Amino acid sequence: MSAHSIAARPARGIAASPPAGSDPDVLAAFLEDAAHFAGGHAAGAVFPTTEADVARAVREAPTVLPIGAQSSLTGGATPMGDIVLSTRHLNSLDIAGDSVRAGAGVTIAELDGALARAGKCYPPAPTFTGAFVGGTVATNAAGAATFKYGTTRDWIRALTIVLANGDALDVERGHVFASADGSFDIALSDRMARVAVPRYEMPHVAKLSAGYFAAPGMDLIDLFIGSEGTLGVVIDVTLRVLPSRPAQCLAFVPFADRRAALDFVAELRRAALETWRGRDPNGLDISAIEHMDARCLALLREDGVDRQCGVTIPDGTAIALLVTLELPPDMTSALAFDEIGRAREAGAPDTRLIRFCRALDRAGVLDAVEIAVPGDHARAEQLLAVREAVPAAVNARVGRAKHAIDARIAKTAADMIVPFERLGELLTIYDAEFERRGLDAAVWGHVSDGNLHPNVIPRSMADVESGKDAILAFGREVHRLGGSPLAEHGVGRNPVKQQLLLDLYGREGIDQMRAVKRALDPDWKLAPGVIFPQP
């Protein structure tokens, strides 16, 4: 085969699991994902344990929706009359050297636990540890630490995929590239598939989950990463891992002024980039900075989360940051407390933690900071719980409004990213648009990447409709600022996100994606209606 060609093979193993069943009690658990997308219904469910099981299910079913933990926030894991193919039993796990080969059904928590016991680390994992590895591949998932470690795509070395005709494809990074005319040839058991790479230009941002990856001379493996189950069913994944785990210090940092907070983030970003370039052995090593706006903090107070977690949110706080500082592996809690106590001393040693404390002091916030030092896992969990309580608080209010006000009310939120230098402009745009529409909204996310999540807190169905229009307006502004309206959650079945994708690439770009799908899945069998409507 040439450098732009690859051959599929028969699926391995014996088809041992039962064919798809249609017990209503079983199906009831799979009719919606974390987005609570309406109208979910399934023709049946299958729980394969081998490649051969997956291949049989795909061959026999009219349409198949591969699912993992159903933690999708876009409706992409909600069936619409499909056979649900759960990957939960594809849970093999093998650690070897600087790689781990994990079945699609392994959860991030299981992966992290196994790697921890081996002294290793997989840093780009998403925040939700119940997510399945296969699902993180399907959406090119990202998380808090993307600033330092990149997205899932950057850590994938190989994939095994079952295609729509039941063939299996083994794809290794660095082996198959698009030809000069921008295509791949994939030899299937029943035909030769020529796949033309879409010609649109993707936004140049740290996170991107916006349809099919496309670039001149691209690696074939990247076509499947982020394809949301529409091109094949991920069976297993080979991931790069780190040989050791850094010590971490978490800091909850309140600011009374948004501009001051963004300036502080910019300072930490610059210092971290200098450190990674090897210019300063004691430089700050920041892997993540999370952001919660004033409305988020008000929700935490309303729900008593600040008291439950023992975190003081000063009156007048406009923004709170959650900073992750990486420290040498031998850093102990006693040593960390000693360094924090000496940060203001003229003769204190020049260490990363002392430099961080001095940066906080220059920003005028050191005395208000809550810190979890390395080894203080309980305190770290409390600080992380504060951040995680924000989306939970919004979701609870959406649920209550849906129950008490209008059953049509649904989560109305965006997942957008811009170059960090344009983030202040985007926040001003969010403020103005929400105020103009009279919408109650909370904004949080991954400020170190320029990736924030504006969420409407609906008081009526009119708020939901107005919120959707606001998100479409935001998408146009994000595009103007050089960003992407679809950063880390994917597109799924959400009509607003599908419109954002259309606005991003145009009708021609969507048609080029459809041509890719048609080449690999001519009967539109896999996840129909996900990413773009079926023509």
In a domain, 128, yes or no: no
pLDDT, tens digit, 9 for 90 and up, residues 55-64:
999 999 999 9
Tens of pLDDT along 166-177?
999 999 999 999
Q: Are both 419 and 380 inside the same structural domain?
A: no
pLDDT band at 209 (very low <50, low <70, confident <90, very high): very high
Whether residues 423 and 401 fall in one domain: yes
Cα(529)–Cα(303) distance, rounded to whole angstroms?
38
In this structure, how many other beta carbons lie within 10 angstroms of the beta carbon of residue 47?
Answer: 19
Same domain for 394 and 374, yes or no, is no
- Does residue 451 share a domain with residue 369? no
- Within this chain, do residues 257 and 379 fall inside the same structural domain, yes or no? yes
Query: At 62, which CATH number?
Result: 3.30.43.10
User: Is residue 261 in some structural domain?
Assistant: yes
pLDDT, tens only, 421-457: 999 999 999 999 999 999 999 999 999 999 999 999 9
> Do residues 393 and 380 share a domain?
no
**How far apart are alpha carbons 296 and 91 in whole angstroms?**
37
Residue 1 reports pLDDT greater than 60 = no
Judgement on whether residues 401 and 346 belong to the same structural domain of the protein: no
Q: To which H or E segment does residue 168 belong?
A: strand 168-172
At 179 the three-state DSSP class reads coil
Percentage of the chain modeled with pLDDT above 70: 100
Residues 207/417, Cβ–Cβ less than 8 Å: yes
- Nearest by Cα to 68 from 32, 106, 36, 97: 106
Residue 476, in any domain of the structure: yes
Confirm whether 197 is domain-assigned: no
Domain boundary, last residue among 39, 67, 87: 87
Residues 374 and 453 in one domain: no
Q: 496: domain range?
A: 388-503
pLDDT(73) > 90: no
DSSP 187-229: E-SS-EEEEEPP-PPPP-SS---SSS---TT-BTHHHHTTSTT
Q: Give the list of residues 6+ apart from residue 442 with CB closer than 8 angstroms, or none.
A: 293, 295, 296, 299, 390, 393, 394, 454, 455, 457
Mean pLDDT computed over every residue of the chain: 94
Amino acid 175 reads H
In the DSSP assignment, the letter for residue 11 is: P
Quote the pTM value. 0.94
283: domain CATH number is 3.30.70.2190
pLDDT of res. 382: 96
What is the number of structural domains in the chain?
Answer: 3
Q: Confirm whether 57 is domain-assigned.
A: yes
Query: Does residue 49 fall inside a structural domain?
Result: yes
Average pLDDT over residues 66-76: 89
CATH number for the domain that contains residue 416: 3.30.70.2740
Contact between 132 and 146 (Cβ < 8 Å): no
Q: Is residue 154 part of a domain?
A: no
